[in-house]
Amino acid sequence: MKNRDLPLSDDQSLPDRIVTAIRGVLGDEQYILHKPIFGGNEQKYLQDCIESTYVSSVGRYVDQFENGLCNFTGAKYAVAVVNGTSALHIALLLAGTKTDDEVIVPSLTFIATANAIKYCGAIPHFVDSEEETLGIDPLALRDWLAYITEMRNGFCFNKQSGRRIKVLLPMNTFGHPNKLDVLKNIADEFGLIMIEDAAESLGSYYNGQHTGTFGLAGTLSFNGNKTITTGGGGAILTDDFEIAKRAKHITTTAKKPHSWEYDHDEVGFNYRLPNLNAALGCAQLEQLPDILVSKRRLTEKYKGAFSSINELELILEPANCSSNYWLQAIKLDRAFMSERDAILQGTNDAGFMTRPVWNLIHTLKPYKGCPKADLSVAESLAKQLINLPSSAGIV
């Protein structure tokens, strides 16, 4: 039985009031941060896949899943791969990212975004985030690029490092879209290629256009904690036929089609999504519209529960956006961010799994020496943000 409208007492500490508010939405059950929902044809499709014996990278469910992603997102092409990180790796390679190129990326992101850059031998160049979207701040980005770069023969170079800046890589934090058209215009102005990390934003739209479709390519993740899951998996979205064709080729070990010959014409990657995982994804994709409705309903419940706690705000979709609300989040007022860890302790002790945002990438050992702009907003957000239980079907 879930409790509703539990009274908040001014005598309670802030952590206790937050626990009371969450309990008013979730009741007395314990909840992890995010778990998948299997309520459709998952077992049916998995059993069919097993009986077909095509459980690896060959089989009809891979094609079906890719077509379903195209139909849902509006992208012309989708290439399914083993995870979101490999999708980013391939997208960056196909954008021409080379050793010692720099890639503009937020520090406020999951480490996979930066790792994929390093896989190419390139160097992350960290820029600040904004309060509204939690993504790259376009105004700060343009000012920074105007200050630190120069154009040489039509290419953008970092005046301080001497390296070429090749790619702009925004990430849609917690499923909330960046100001993607503005970022694309900045990329064009400075001769950068935009690749969109939409790992968290399947089902999110900016000005009516699905995320992951604004740049040369976008990437998705279907990890077990994402809006829908294939167990492990990802995809590259693009409207460019040649990019899609080459992505499919090099993620399948660059093997040339032939009935029996093993002819590989370049170094490739064993990144193709197995048919078994794609079968799970097909069933999940059928349920995506209902999952998005459920997540929006949870947002409204949290919105009501936190409305009387003035020390924080619930993160809501930015203007001109429709968010998938992958992970619900609250943002503490700066005057109360010192209580973050007490809130995390209190909520987790009460059985409600919460967590802080990721450690900023520029603070992590592998990336401490990378170029960076002023990151004061991201550094503040890292102390203010707390994720809440966000699974579909909670309410």
Contact at 8 Å (CB) between 103 and 166? yes
The whole model's pTM is what?
Answer: 0.95
Q: How many CB atoms lie within 10 A of CB 375?
A: 22
Residue type, 86: S
Q: Tally Cβ neighbours within 10 Å of residue 146.
A: 12
Give how far Cα 99 sits from Cα of 3, 123, 267, Å.
Answer: 56, 8, 16
Residue 366 is predicted with a pLDDT of: 97
pLDDT of residue 38: 96
Write down how long the chain is: 395
- At residue 150, the 3 state secondary structure works out as strand
Strand partners, 264: 255
Residue at token pair 């690749």: 195
User: Rounded to whole angstroms, how far apart are CA atoms 98 and 167?
Assistant: 10
Round to whole Å and give the CA distance between 183 and 169: 10
Nearest to 238 by CA among 27, 383, 95: 95
Q: Is the Cβ–Cβ distance between 88 and 122 less than 8 Å?
A: no
pLDDT of 6:
54
pLDDT given for residue 10 in this prediction:
63
Identify whether the C-beta of residue 280 lies closer than 8 Å to the C-beta of residue 379.
no
> What are the 10-residue block averages of pLDDT along the chain, 395 residues in total?
52 95 96 96 98 94 98 98 98 98 98 98 98 98 98 97 98 98 98 98 98 98 98 98 98 94 96 98 98 98 98 97 98 98 98 98 97 98 98 93
Architecture of domain 42-278: 3-Layer(aba) Sandwich (3.40)
| Cα distance between residue 327 and residue 315, in whole Å | 10
Evaluate whether 110 touches 90 at the Cβ level (below 8 Å): no
- pLDDT reported for residue 3: 44
Residue 195 in contact with residue 88, Cβ under 8 Å?
yes
Domain ranges of the chain: 42-278
Task: Quickly list DSSP for 348-390.
Answer: HHTTB--EEPPPPGGGSGGGTTS-B---HHHHHHHHHEEE---
Q: Phi and psi of 262, rounded to 5°?
A: -100, 80
Separation between Cα atoms, residue 285 and residue 41, nearest integer Å: 10
- φ, ψ of residue 340 in degrees (nearest 5): -55, -50
Distance CA 265, CA 44 (A): 38
DSSP for residue 132: T
Torsion angles phi and psi, residue 154, rounded to 5: 85, 5
Residue 1: its pLDDT value, please?
Answer: 35
176 close to 92: Cβ distance less than 8 angstroms: no
Query: Phi/psi of residue 212, each to 5°?
Result: 90, 0
Measure the CA–CA gap between 172 and 175, rounded to whole angstroms. 5
Contact 217, 94 (CB under 8 A): yes
Distance (Å, whole) CA 34 – CA 180: 26
Supply the pLDDT for residue 5: 53
